[in-house]
Chains A and B, each alone.
Chain A
């Protein structure tokens, strides 16, 4: 009897539902008037981190010692090398030159090293640009030397342990003139990959909505560049992420996508790399794999250098890419909620130095529209941009919803927005960084402008509904987010780099000023698809620059030719 009743319940519910949801159909007998709602479980409430106790004294701890820098002089240098009217235009510095000109002296550096050694720390990574030093040592040394107590915590929602210092780290007076501070003692995950989950249960093989590289090439006029032999030869792109990437997945992606001549990726670990609890996060593998495959799909002959790093060691990863000197393009598809409450001194320093070295850093602009903090707390509705995407030293990449024809040709595009679940292209204003002088043009000055950095700069497809084909764990999946659009831009920039080199240019330099200048001075529609539909959950896509899609998505071949012509006509340095 009990079983029968149980079986009948869904049937009765369904019948009632038909009545309830049919517009205009009223119930004959209305229900009781004032029944309070049954409590909904609240799966969206973030679980609070638990304190596990004082970090055991012998625990090995990695962190950054941030060195003093001639910030103002570096800023002036960055201005000059990015200004076409300056005689220093595109005369970027090597990492060694940066260290010599703006870093502490050799004697100062020796003093820091001596202090670290005497304190029980070892140097894990150091960089010729002298921005910071990554060091490791036992927790007891951290506590004793820096005057803090490290405490271990556990985040149940991420199933990750981390440590935080109690108290503010103090730099001993003996080295205070050469050490600005320390960073990275708090390993709480404040950045997350932005990969948007797969939308459909249907595999890509049966799903025409999976966007393979060949269709993407057609939609954005990449094919003409490939036909002209620009496939990324001689170029390198650095992908920074914290998840494992499988060679088998990459091979399968190449085969599925018909890519040939793809060089195997090179893996470079930053410091001791992410710990197991970080690298085993499900999104870490998806994100890392999508980033690599997206670059290779657009620029198959580009050498991908995979910098395997904890997201908390982003600054070290950027420093390492710059000091290695092999890649002039970085893509990073993760971000944090930049509410202005925390200092990113080491990130800022590393990015500024990268800019001064002529390195393009593409960063995804976030996947929750104007409300970045939602990625960390679903009840946090503050209007906040994503960092480091809102740095003036990076190119921030938003996402669009692409409609394309059966043959891949471009049909239409809107800002990526999913109103029902608050996923959308990220965009907004930095709480701290001033708007760079090069960020100007139609749409840039608007009613929300307040003198701060505005993002995103550009965009590319990222709505998982028209999602990208990726292969992860042997499965063909559909994925997206601004996580996809950032490596897309890194990939096409490597094609531009090859074009520039063929024309005798030394390199592209930091592209953002060039992109804004081209967009303002030319018929924008010939270089960018100006996206005018959709929004970032708050601000709409409009003609010209906007907070949802920036300047828009590229007509790749035309944009590449325009960039090279612009650089040549403005006297960019040649080989």
Chain B
């Protein structure tokens, strides 16, 4: 009985192995015989990837789900990411300057959805709602040079604004927060860019910090 049972296992294993080989061979044949994915007729424009890879100005990041990409300053570190977006944090050196010591943190986040799931304006509104849960009294910042005059992502015009509020930590409202939101989209993807600074910097460092974050917007490439 046991011998018979063993023979049956051998037959079953041989069948399984054979089947696996057939499947692997079939997949290889299918892969080799499938023509390449059709490329969109793209010459120039915001939706067209460059024909040759340019040198990296920062650390590249690509959305595995939605296909957009950008680069960020290598001083940022990734806090979290998924197929649709990423959150980056700027590690302020607390000993670097008196101004920097007044900063709790600064973050840049990029998130996106398929265009069918929201317009840029809807995305921006949602993001503002999310932020207002932790930044109290979040309101339009219309008094300073941080106003977003020409909102765009990846050289594609969009919507945007600057906001201020008070960051609400476990200790209660502790520090002023400045926020910049920019959203844009093409026929495939809507994306929203978030810049948050909790604390305060002097004028030069404010400019420098925002320039650093700007690299994300300059290098952003929309999926074709």
Contacts and interface: CB of A to CB of B under 8 A. Distances in A.
B217 A420 contact: yes
Contact of B55 (A36, A41, A404): A404
Interface stretch (B6-14, B16-24, B157-165): B157-165
B190 interface: no
B218 A39 contact: no
B177 to A, nearest CB: 8
Nearest to B194: A21
B131 A20 contact: yes
User: Chain A interface mostly helix, strand, loop or mixed?
Assistant: loop
Contact of A465 (B130, B171, B215): B215
Contact of A41 (B200, B210, B214, B218): B200
Contacts, number: 224
Interface in A455-489: 463-466
Contact of B217 (A42, A208, A418): A418
Contacts of B146: 44
Interface string A428-446: 0000000000000000000
A378 interface: yes
Contacts of A43: 200-203, 206
A17 B79 CA distance: 11
B103 to A, nearest CB: 10
Interface string B41-58: 000111000111111111
Most B CB within 10 A of own CB, among A19, A417, A532: A417
A9 B172 CA distance: 11
Contacts of A497: none
A13 B167 contact: yes
A410 to B, nearest CB: 9
B166 interface: yes
Given A21-B131, A44-B145, A403 B54 contact: yes
Given A17-B107, A23-B127, A44-B144, A422 B149 contact: yes
A201 B212 CA distance: 10
A30 B74 CA distance: 34
Contacts of B151: 419
A35 B166 contact: yes
Contacts of B57: 209, 465-466
Interface in B63-94: 73-75, 79-80, 85, 87, 94
A95 to B, nearest CB: 43
Contacts of B170: 12-13, 15-16
B155 A45 contact: no
A533 interface: yes
Nearest to B164: A37
Interface in B186-219: 194-196, 198, 200-203, 206-208, 210-215, 217-219
8 contacts: A21-B107, A21-B131, A26-B130, A378-B144, A378-B145, A409-B52, A412-B44, A535-B150
Q: State the 3 A-B residue pairs at the shortest beta-carbon distance, nearest first.
A: A378-B145, A20-B134, A537-B150
